[in-house]
């Protein structure tokens, strides 16, 4: 009886996936104007669809069968669950790599959801999704270059390396040299993205909807909605190029004090199209490559502080945020001006790559988000609740929202200690976070369905930054939260001054600013004392 029930459940998943995906694939094929593309779709879509259905059904059956009859909370159930998580994450990883494109984008999203998916999924996806992306053949690259620029790479460029230096989910990058001698990076879109993107998206959407109907607690529809909104923009490299220009302009206008320390490669507009981007080649180390950074004579702590400051300025002052700052998208190099810090260390400059995924925070949302982080850093429970509610978390889930943002339980979030938000990265911390995620899974799912999608992307950005900072600091840095508190407070004060309509209201804001400065100064003193204490105990 049990076996029959399990078989029925997995068969339902397979059937729902197959039927839904077949419909999506048929529509995509019918809408294709290019006979060659239609032929590719007619052969590729059914095979990809079968993989989707088989993987989904296998995972469902494995969970149901392996955990059948094991008491909830028992040691044996936890042991078996860990094994099933590992097997299922590996199956999902292989599906993403085999199908490529959208599937890898989804895998990369999953790798950042520490607060929502089991640790096994996060670890397996994170270890592979950034360095095992599929590579297009040189013939495919030649096809794209010829179609976009009207000639072969050897005709368009003086030199063109057929072996890519990097490959990501949507494109790969080749080094080339223009006829006037400039070294450039050429970003070429994978041809399969154009061929199967529509069918892949429709299939994934219907799979997730089918799984939700069968298992209501499995609600990842918001993730599919986000991919639907962002993918067309990421596939248009001219939008990416314009985003990089706007990003740099924002630093010059709103953050001139650090504009020199943030850089984006110059775009060669006359050689760039929606599927091919030619830009200045930058030689630098990945932001999490501590060994290479130190070899350049740069202190990794300086990089961590600059990274935190850069993205805090984007979130709280610019309202135009690079939402994919994983390690491969941020390079570090010595500041070109050559100036050095005390003790001979070179000043770092961040080079931001891959500007395809940006989000706009409207002024009210930007200030509410800044006020929320100000409350988190200063342990202000009322401010945390007020601004969490304004951002959509509701009065019933604001505590959970604060926990997801900080990766800390509520007792730590409102602890007045200066280091209350620091996650040490110990096994105990990781176990606590996973227990938290497991215990509140339904509530977390509900919260993510409520929050505006732009805030969901801020969560992803925070997760990326947390991972990079952990590598740079070999743990967690108190200074990171000090910087976040300082920039968010500056943004809130600036907003209040702009809204002040009388001298009295301006005086009130100036007085509030003085109090904030005093509070930040006190926090800085506390940080110095903690550093001194740590140094003396070593």
Q: Cβ distance 32 to 38 under 8 Å?
A: yes
> How far is it, in rounded angstroms, from Cα 285 to Cα 300?
12
Q: Is the CB of residue 310 less than 8 Å from the CB of residue 332? A: no
Residue with tokens 């990265």: 425
Cβ atoms of residues 116 and 222 within 8 Å: no
Sheet holding 330-334, edge to edge: 262-263, 348-352, 330-334, 285-286
d(CA 78, CA 45): 37
**Vertex 274, ends 270 and 278: CA angle to 5°?**
45
Query: Which tokens sit at 481?
Result: 């939260």
Q: Are strands 276-280 and 183-189 parallel, antiparallel or unpaired?
A: antiparallel
Nearest Cα to 464, choosing from 347, 332, 329?
Answer: 329
The phi and psi torsions of 513 (rounded to 5 degrees) equal -65, -40
Which tokens belong to 21? 């995906």
Instruction: Give the side-chain half-sphere CA count within 13 A for 176.
Output: 24
Q: Which residues contact 236 (CB under 8 A, 6 or more apart)?
A: 274
Q: What's 324's DSSP letter?
A: -
- Positions of E strands within 68-191: 159-160, 166-167, 171-177, 183-189
C-alpha 42, offset from chain centre: 33
Q: How many helices (H) and strands (E) does the chain have?
A: 21, 11
Catalytic site residues? 324
């Amino acid at each position: 009886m049990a076996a029959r029930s399990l078989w029925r459940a997995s068969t339902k998943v397979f059937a729902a996936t197959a039927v839904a995906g077949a419909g999506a694939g048929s529509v995509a094929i019918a809408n294709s104007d290019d006979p060659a593309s239609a032929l590719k779709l007619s052969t590729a879509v059914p095979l990809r669809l079968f993989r989707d259905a088989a993987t989904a059904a296998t995972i469902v059956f494995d969970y149901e069968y392996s955990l059948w009859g094991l008491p909830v909370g028992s040691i044996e159930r936890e042991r078996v669950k860990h094994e099933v998580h590992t097997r299922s994450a590996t199956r999902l990883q292989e599906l993403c790599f085999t199908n490529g494109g959208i599937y890898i984008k989804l895998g990369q999203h999953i790798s950042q959801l520490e607060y929502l998916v089991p640790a096994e999924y996060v670890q397996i996806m994170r270890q592979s999704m950034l360095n095992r992306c599929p590579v297009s053949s040189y013939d495919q690259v030649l096809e794209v270059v010829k179609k976009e620029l009207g000639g072969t790479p050897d005709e368009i460029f003086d030199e063109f390396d057929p072996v890519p230096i990097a490959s990501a989910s949507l494109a790969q990058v080749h080094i080339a040299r223009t006829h006037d001698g400039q070294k450039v990076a050429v970003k070429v879109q994978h041809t399969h993205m154009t061929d199967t993107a529509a069918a892949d998206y429709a299939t994934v959407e219907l799979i997730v909807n089918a799984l939700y109907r069968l298992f209501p607690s499995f609600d990842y529809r918001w993730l599919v909605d986000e991919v639907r909104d962002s993918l067309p923009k990421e596939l248009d490299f001219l939008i990416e190029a314009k985003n990089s220009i706007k990003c740099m302009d924002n630093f010059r206008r709103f953050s001139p004090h650090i504009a020199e320390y943030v850089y984006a490669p110059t775009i060669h507009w006359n050689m760039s199209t929606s599927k091919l981007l030619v830009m200045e080649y930058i030689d630098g180390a990945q932001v999490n490559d501590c060994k290479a950074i130190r070899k350049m004579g740069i202190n990794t702590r300086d990089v961590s502080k600059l990274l935190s400051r850069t993205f805090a300025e984007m979130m709280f002052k610019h309202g135009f945020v690079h939402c994919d700052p994983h390690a491969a998208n941020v390079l570090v190099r010595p500041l070109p001006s050559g100036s050095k810090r005390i003790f001979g260390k070179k000043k770092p400059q961040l080079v931001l790559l891959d500007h395809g995924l940006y989000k706009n925070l409207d002024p009210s949302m930007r200030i509410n988000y800044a006020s929320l982080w100000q409350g988190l850093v200063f342990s202000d429970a009322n401010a945390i609740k007020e601004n969490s509610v304004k951002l959509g978390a509701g009065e019933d889930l604001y505590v959970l929202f604060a926990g997801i943002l900080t990766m800390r339980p509520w007792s730590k979030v409102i602890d007045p200690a200066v280091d209350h938000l620091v996650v040490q990265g110990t096994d105990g911390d990781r176990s606590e976070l996973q227990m938290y995620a497991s215990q509140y899974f339904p509530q977390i799912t509900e919260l993510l369905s409520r929050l505006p999608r732009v805030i969901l992307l801020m969560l992803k950005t925070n997760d990326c930054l947390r991972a990079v900072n952990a590598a740079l600091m070999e743990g967690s840095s108190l200074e990171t939260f000090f910087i976040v508190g300082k920039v968010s407070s500056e943004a809130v004060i600036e907003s209040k001054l702009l809204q002040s309509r009388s001298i009295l209201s301006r005086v009130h804001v100036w007085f509030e600013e003085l109090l904030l400065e005093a509070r930040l100064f006190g926090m800085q003193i506390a940080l110095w004392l903690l550093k001194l204490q740590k140094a003396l105990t070593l």
